[in-house]
Structure 1
């Protein structure tokens, strides 16, 4: 979280300026977003470490444009 804030909020590595190569937009402007399903039972596919598994439920009901907490980690990313 501290690195994210340093780089993308405070822009410290970039001398407090947005790099000219960055583009402003929503995620759908840059990637194709597809909906899928989580495997069932999902607990069988989760681990305590590795890359996090972003789910729609992580984004529902938050007031920030950033998702700062993702609890689930798929086993395949360890």
Structure 2
């Protein structure tokens, strides 16, 4: 099993920040595991905790994919 490359990420996910891509690559996950993580998110958006059977690498990829897809207003504190 070969780990994912930047090309795999760009093909499967689209363009992401270099830091996120580095973290994805650093998981040691395969392209198949990245595709599995994406499938979990397609099935149940924002419910990554529902996948206890997913491997640690797949769960980490789900977390990273959620971070990439989070709307900016969820990431920034509300200023009132």
TM-score category (smaller protein): under 0.3
- TM normalised by structure 1 equals 0.25
Normalized against structure 2, the TM-score is what? 0.25
Larger CA Rg, structure 1 vs 2: 1
Q: Which has the higher strand share?
A: 1
User: Which is helix-richer, 1 or 2?
Assistant: 2
